[in-house]
Structures are given as C-alpha cells and as structure tokens.
Amino acid sequence: MPELPEVETTVNGLRIKVLNRTFIDIWTDSFSLIKKPPNFADFKKAIKGRKILDIKRKGKNIVFYLSGGIVMLVHQKMTGHLLFGKWKKQKEKWVSGLKGPLKEDPQNRFIRVVFFLNNGFQIALSDLRKFAKIEIWEKTTFNNGLVLNRLGPDAMEVSFDYFKKKIKSRKAKIKQVLMDQNFISGIGNIYSDEILFLAGVNPQIRANAIPLEKLKKIYKAMRNVLKLAVDNGGTSFSDYRNPNGIKGNFGNLTKVYRKTGQMCPQCKTEIKRLKIGGRSAHFCPNCQKI
C-alpha cells in the first residue's frame, strides 16, 4: 500500500500538472471503487465542470479541492496509483498514447477510472486489485474533521511531545504502534522497518517500555527516513508508480525491508524476519537489541 512518501510524491506530481484544470467527463468500469455517492451518475454530476483548485495529502489520502465547495477524496489502497497522461480505448482496453512507462510498464495498465480534463489530458487510476476508494464530500462537511476523524497527526508534522506522550500510553509492540493510523498517519510496513533500524530499536519491544533516549532516536529517524523517501520518489517494490508511471527510487536505499537472510549493512549480522500483528517485520537482531 502506498505510504506517506508515495502519496506525497503523487500529490506533488499532480499539483504540477493539473491545478486549475477542469473535469469535463469521467469513465469507469469498476463502479465499486466509487464509494460516495454510490450512484455513478450522481458522482459524475458532482464533479463534471469542477475546477481543481488544490490537491493535498491527508495521511495516506489524496484530497482534491474542487470549485463550488466540493472535495474529492482518493485512497489508493493496496495496488492503486494515480497517473497523468493520455489514453485511448482500444478493444476494451485503455492504451497510453504517450511513449515510455505509461505504455510499457505492465503495472500501469490496470486502468479502472479515467478523469478527462479540459486540456486533452487525463488522470487515470490504475488498480490491479480494485481496492481503491473515491468519495465526494461537501467541503464544509469534510473540514469539520468527521470524515477523517480517527486519523492521527501527520508523521511529518507531529511534535515530539505528542509522540512521547502517546507512545508511553501504548502497550502494543512498537512496530504496530508506528503503523497505527489513529496514532500517527502515514507510516506503513516499509517505513516502520526502516525507521526502527535507523533508531536501533527492536520491532518487538513494547512501546511503553522504550527509554526516552530511544524514543528521541525513533522520532528523529521517522523524520529522516520519510524525508529521504519523499526526496527519492517513494518505494516501488510492487505496484506503486508516480503520476508519470515511473518507479520510486527509495527501494534502492532500504536497509532491512525485504532483506531477510542478507547481511546487515552496519554489522554484517543476518537480517531476520518475523510476524507482528499479521505483518512482516525485518530487522537486525544485533543492531536492534532494545
């Protein structure tokens, strides 16, 4: 699932290309992705003719602020990613009219939703497993906080005082706590592993048992890892691509994620993998003892 760096990369890429453009039409063959309003005709009516005024990230959510006080919320979920380009329907399939990864990378071919813009370009949602969701909200309703009311503060913006206070109240393992979107938003499986490795903290330790100095290291590592990942366009181990259809580069910089059996880059101990809360955790048992 795209995490904070991937969603931030998507938002930054789309802002350059589509701000002040207008939706003139929309197509889908995957009506279940449109969650609100559930009737596709109503959804089309709600966005047609609306100008894209701004695009922001809220946790792992992409938020389009449209003219007329309308907000469109997109969550890419497991395999979804938004693309920008030009496509034509050929024998029931959408084919990119632009050379390069949009046309050649197979991960960009699962076109489920196409938004037509007033400059001849389109925003397309590619989603292999069809888990993404798209919702329309009135801006006043969206801004009252109830739509994303369980979403914790952003991992790139949260203060250390909040981080420390909330961590000390949690008995769950630190890997699970970092991934809890109600605690802080934006961190998933990849970056929790990388953050804990950089901080030298074992993913199995209970959050409320972590000493203050280690909490400071986790907090600093969180900011550093996420910033580095954003600077490198996120991670593309599987499905994620940026709006140009290009893979992120952070996968070349990971230290422990998906490196089971390889040697730790710091101490040459074998990297281990275990399950925590149903998710894989990759770590160095020597560098991450506490």
pTM comes to 0.96
Q: Which fold has domain 160-283?
A: Helicase, Ruva Protein; domain 3 (1.10.8)
Domain positions in the chain: 4-143, 160-283
Return the SS3 of 83. strand
In this predicted structure, what is the pLDDT of residue 125? Answer: 98
Helix (H, G, I), strand (E, B) or coil at 211: coil
Answer yes or no: 213 catalytic.
no
Contact 135, 113 (CB under 8 A): no
139 is catalytic: no
Q: Do domains 4-143 and 160-283 have the same CATH topology?
A: no
- φ, ψ at 250 (rounded to 5°): -65, -20
d(CA 238, CA 167): 31
Whether 60 is a known active-site residue: answer yes
Of these residues, 50, 57, 58, 60, which one is catalytic? 60
Which candidate in 3, 6, 8, 194 is catalytic? 3
> First vs last Cα of the chain: how many Å apart?
28
- The CATH class given to the 4-143 domain equals alpha beta
Residue 238 half-sphere exposure toward CB, CA atoms < 13 A: 12
Is 2 catalytic? The answer is yes
CA distance 66 to 53: 5
CA distances from 267 to 122, 165, 200, 262 (A): 48, 32, 12, 11
pLDDT per residue of the chain (290 residues) written in tens, 0 to 9: 799 999 999 999 999 999 999 999 999 999 999 999 999 999 999 999 999 999 999 999 999 999 999 999 999 999 999 999 999 999 889 999 999 999 999 999 999 999 999 999 999 999 999 999 999 999 999 999 889 999 999 999 999 999 999 999 999 999 999 999 999 999 999 999 999 999 999 999 999 999 999 999 999 999 999 999 999 999 998 899 999 999 999 999 999 999 999 999 999 999 999 999 999 999 999 999 98
Q: In whole angstroms, what is the distance from residue 266 CA to residue 279 CA?
A: 24
Q: Given the residues 2, 5, 203, 243, select the one marked as catalytic.
A: 2
**Which residue from 243, 246, 245, 199 is spatially nearest to 218, judged by alpha carbons?**
199
Are the C-beta atoms of 179 and 187 separated by less than 8 Å? yes
Q: What is the pLDDT of residue 235?
A: 96
The identity of residue 112, as a single letter, is R
The residue annotated as part of the active site, out of 35, 133, 220, 279, is: 279
Residue 220, phi-psi category: left (phi > 0), alpha (psi -120 to 50), beta (remainder): alpha
